Amino acid sequence: MERRSARSAPDRDATLQALGADLRAALPRTLAANRMGGFLRDLRSDLIFLDEGALAVFDLPPDGFDGRPETLYARMVPEDVAGFREMVSRARSEPGDYGTYFRILGADGTIRWAHTQGVVERDAEGNPLRAIGIVRDASAELRHVAQQAVLEPQRRHQNDVVTATTAALSRALTVEDVLDALTSREILGPVGAQAISLTVLDQDRLRRIAVASLPMTMREEMEFSRIDADLPVAEAFRSHRPVFITRASVEAEWPQLWPHVKDTPLTAGAILPLIAQARPTGVLSIMYEGKTAFTPEEQNLLLALAATIAQSVQRAALYDEEHAMAVGLQQSMLPATIPDMPGVRVAVRYQPARTGHQIGGDWYDVVPLRGGRVGLVVGDVQGHDIQASAVMGQLRTALRAYAAEGHAPAAVMARASRFLQDLDTDRLATCIYVDLDPATGRARLVRAGHPGPVIRHADGSSSSPDVAGGLPFGLLQYSDAPYPTTELVLGPDETLLLCTDGLLEFRGEDIDVGERRIRSALYDGPGDLDRLAEYIVDTIETRQGQEDDVALLLATLAPGRDTAA
């Protein structure tokens, strides 16, 4: 005999019908318990009915909704209302269901995500009658999205800070450049800091070398500190860890610092060690007004900035050190002193290139000649390396010896050119040599591929005399003709300027622009020869990046000397 089923078909149907009735009766409570609810929107009157669950989603009391869409829009985040209205408009005109996510402002000010989905019912002619659907709390499923929405402005700000700092430091070449960048509004502004300072290790103590907007007492009285001092700067340097301070923590934990902070508007600070290649090189202190704490994201950002700044400081310090060594070697090849010559005053300057630490071959010299005459020399060996400087030193010595032997200017230059050929180097050199008689002002000039002289007259105007030129040193002469010689007379109130092309040429500019700049400097510059030389060199510093070395020589006849026409 077959076993009877546990429940007959009629019993099963009756049970399912009873369950269906219970579900329909319990559906509103079930939806509400799951933070869901239903809505019905009459599209002719534009009134909306929300059941208990839907009211809970919008955080509205049962008697707190008047059926108007504007009441619901007031509960939404304002930025989401326009998109919600656009969705409703499309649902009226386009068949099919619809749905969207939006944010709701709770009565307590919290923001929650919600989702609605529905369908528009239409009459026989297709006219929209009503929209029916559900609305539910979507905070749990979109929690990550909500977090991203909150964090996105912070990330944009952090990106702005990193971009601004990187841009400012990318242009920094020397330590001074780095300090200027750190104390500029380009960094202070995006970081949101009120004050900033940079402290470095100076032998066995910490020394502040840059500061912006720091209170005066902290500038003057805390410029130096011991490494073992009970100060946040020293602690960050010793521990290699950042120290984040507030007014309360300074008063409680840093008694040496509190007297300098208590009467200021500063409320918080980030004291960040600068670590480069696992070695502490200094400490960056960033001070704030109004801030009372640092979020983990802010701390990570500041640490990243400190790492970038540490690399920039180390790179700039290395550049300064190498540049100083190069300049020292170059200057050791130049005359140690310029002798006092009867009847003539001379001022010289050597300015190394600012955009690199290679040494160059620019030089000047003043040579006592027979009969009270004076030899004035400015030259330039091709290249920017140790070999260029070494060739320059040998060539300067040789030319000086030929001039002191009493050879005519053309012969001096021809011998110097042959000397460079005999050195078996591929370097060329340019030079201008002036044999000046201080008693008469008569001068004989010879030029080997070098820029000609400029003369400042008594009224401040200047001119460039036409001086015949020959080939640069080191090139084979294709004839026996000597270097051409040009003669002129230097007046008692006139100044002779000789220089290398670094004073005249600049990337993107024609040499004529450089010559006009020099003439302007001669016109505007002081009468004193040494001050005038310094003034002219300063005009080079004002240009954006001096790319070549500069050798400058100024000469004028001493007062009381007669000149002959």
Residues 197 and 317 in one domain: yes
Instruction: Give the domain CATH number at 98.
Output: 3.30.450.20
* Dihedral angle computed from the Cα positions of residues 55, 61, 63 and 65, in that order, rounded to the nearest 10 degrees: -50
* Residue 349 and residue 240 in one domain: no
Predicted confidence pLDDT, tens digits, the chain (565 residues)? 444 445 567 777 777 777 767 667 767 777 777 788 999 999 889 999 998 889 989 998 888 889 999 999 999 999 899 889 998 888 888 888 888 999 998 888 788 889 999 999 999 888 999 999 999 998 877 766 655 555 556 556 556 666 666 666 666 667 777 777 776 766 666 667 788 888 888 888 898 877 777 777 777 777 888 999 999 999 999 999 999 999 999 999 999 999 888 888 899 999 999 888 778 888 988 888 888 888 887 888 788 788 878 877 777 776 666 666 666 655 666 676 788 889 999 999 988 776 554 567 888 999 999 999 999 999 999 887 777 888 888 898 999 999 999 999 999 999 999 999 888 788 899 999 999 999 999 999 999 999 999 999 999 999 999 999 889 998 866 445 679 999 999 998 999 999 998 888 776 667 778 788 889 899 999 989 999 999 998 877 665 455 678 899 999 998 754 444 3
Evaluate whether residue 12 is within a structural domain: no
C-alpha 216 chain-centroid distance: 27
pLDDT digits (tens, 9 = 90+) for 225-254: 899 999 999 999 999 999 999 999 999 999
DSSP state of 107: T
Asked if residue 16 belongs to a domain, the reply is no
Candidates 360, 325, 366, 327; CA nearest to 345 is: 366
Q: Report the C-alpha gap between 485 and 283 in whole angstroms.
A: 62
Q: Do residues 179 and 133 share a domain?
A: no
Task: Give CA–CA dist 196/12, Å, rounded.
Answer: 80
526 within a domain of the structure (yes/no): yes
pTM (global) more than 0.85: no
Rounded Cα distance, 257 and 225, in Å: 12
Clarify whether residues 273 and 309 are in a common domain.
Answer: yes
Is the domain of 352 the same as that of 406? yes
Quick check: is 9 in a domain?
A: no
Q: How many structural domains compose the chain? A: 3
441 and 548 share one domain = yes
- The residues that bridge with 268 in the sheet, in sequence order, are 246, 288
What b/e readout covers 355-389, taking b as 16+ CB neighbours within 10 angstroms? ebbbbbbbbbbbbebeeebbbbbbbbbbbbeebbb
Domain extent, residue 267, equals 154-325
Q: Are residues 452 and 347 in the same domain?
A: yes
Specify if 432 maps to a domain. yes
Quote the CA–CA distance of 185 and 168 in Å, as a whole number: 10
User: What confidence tens digit (pLDDT) does each residue in 310-329 have?
Assistant: 877 777 776 666 666 666 65
Under 8 Å between Cβ of 137 and 54 = no
210 & 320 share domain: yes
Q: Are residues 291 and 362 both part of a single domain? A: no
What is the DSSP secondary-structure string of 377-405? Answer: EEEEESSSSHHHHHHHHHHHHHHHHHHHT
